[in-house]
Structure 1
C-alpha cells in the first residue's frame, strides 16, 4: 500500500512539473518569458557587480542584425529588426513544448488510466468524443500559433528597445511597490478575466462566440486555448496591457503569466486536483463550469463569484439555456 501511495504521489508531482512547463507554451509566450527572465537575471548579476545600468542599456544590448537584409521588413522600422526570426522561434518553441508535454499528460491519464476514471477524473462518466478531441487540438493549435505570432512581435519590440513599462531593477521602485504592484496586477487579471468571461455568457455573445469553447463539455488540457479567435485575442489583450500601462517588475509580471497559464491548463485538464493556496479553486470548479455552463466564471479565486452569487449551488438547476449565472430554483 505504501509503495502504491508513493507511486501516486510521484505521478502527481511529475504531472505538476510537466503541466507547469506546458503552461509556459500555452499562450505562445515561451520566448517572451525567457527573454524577460533573462533580462532580470542580467540586471541582478550586473548590480551585484556594482555596475550601473539604465533601461536603454538593458534593452538594446544587440547592435547588429542576426538575419540578412533580404529577410528584414524595412517598413516596420528598427524596433522590429529580425522580427521573422523572433516570430519563427516563438511558434516553434511554443508548439513543440505544448505538444510534447500536453501529449504526455493526455497519454498518462486519458489512455493509461482511462479504465479507472473515478480515481482521477472530474467527470468520470464523460469523455470527449474522438471528433471533439481532434477539434480541440486543431483549434488550440491555430489559436496558439496566433498567440505565438503576437508574442514574437512583442518580444522583438522589447528586445530592440521598444516601449514598455516593465522594469528590471527592484531598486527603481522599491520592495513595497514590488509587492503592491504584483498583488494589484494579479487582482486586475482575475477581475478582467471574470468580467470578460461573464460578458461572453451574455446570450448573443455566447451563441455566436463563446459557445465554441463550450463544445468541450468534458475538456482536456488542449481545450484551454481552443475557442473563438476573437475571444482568444480579447483575453490575450487583457494580459498584455500591464506591460504598457503600469510599472511592474518583469519577473513579477512573468510570475503572474505563469500562474495564470498553469492554472488555466489545470482547470481544463479534467484531472481532479486541489490547490494548497487558499484562494485558488480546485480544478473541479472550472470543470463544473463546462458541465453546468452558466456559473463559476472565475479562474484563480472564488471572490468574484462569491460577490456576484454565481457559484454553482446544488439546490439549483443549470443548463445551457439558463443564462444569468444564478441558475433556477428546482421545483
Structure 2
C-alpha cells in the first residue's frame, strides 16, 4: 500500500490581468506542482482558516528551550561590556532563530505587549501541522521582499525540518535573443507579458519556466524558444510521430515481428523509471527533473523511429511512449501534445 502525504501548498494568487513582469509569469506556472503532487499520492487539502490566538500560542512556548525573555537579543548582549547591568529594563520575548541561519534572534512579543508577525505566522503554520499535514510549502514570487530565512529558522526552532517546512522564492526569467549583427546571443530587457507570450507562445513559456530549478533563474532565448528543433518541439514532435505510426499500424495487416532494437530497449527503460522520476520531482519540488526526463525520452524515441526504416515498429512500445509523453506534457505540465488529424 502506497503511503499518502498530506501537503499544504501556500501560494499567493496573482490574477492574470495583474502580471507585471516575466518574473511573475514564471511564478504562476508553479500550479504544475499541484498536478505533480496529486500524481504522487500527495493529498492537497486547504486547512481551516481559523487564526490561532497569539497569546495562547506564546504561553505554550514560554518554557521552550528556544524561547527566552530578555531586554535585548543574546547577540547584542554578548557585545556589551561585562560591567553593564540591565536588570530593570523592560523585556521582549525572543526566539533563537540565529541557531538556524538567521543573523540574530527575532522578537515574538515586544515589551509593550504587541505580538509580531513572526509569532502569528509560526502559530498558524504550527496549527496546520497539528491538523495532520506532513509538509508545508510556501511559494513566493521573486518580487517578494519577505523574511523567508527568519520564518524558516523559527519553524526549525519549533522542531520542524527543512523537509517538512519549505520556503521557496521562485527566481525570475532572464530573457536572451540572437543579435544578427554580431551573431551572438545577448541578454535583453524584460518584455511586457503579452509581448512575451506573443513572441514564443504559452507552451514554450511554460516549458522553459519549468526546465530550470525553481530556485534558479530561468534563461529563455526568445529567438529559438518555441521554434522547430528546440527542446519542446522535439518532445511534441516525438508524440506526433508516435501518433502517426499508430494510425498507420491500424491500417496495416500482417506486420512483421522483429526482435527489439537496442535503442528500443533503452527507450523502454526510460519509460519504466517515469514513476520514480515523478516521485523525485514531487519530493524535491523539482519539476525540471520531469522536463529533463521528457527530453531524454523524446530524443531516444526519435533515434528509435529513425532506425525503423520501413519495418513496422512495436505497437506496444509506440503506444506506451505516446501515452507517457501525453500524460507528462498535458496532465502534469499543462502543455499541448499535437496529434495528426485523421
Higher strand content, 1 or 2? 2
Higher helix content, 1 or 2? 1
TM-score between the two structures when normalised by the length of structure 1: 0.22
Which of structures 1 and 2 has the bigger CA Rg? Answer: 2
TM-score between the two structures when normalised by the length of structure 2: 0.22
Flag the structure with more relative contact order, 1 or 2, with Cα contacts below 8 A and sequence separation at least 6. Answer: 1
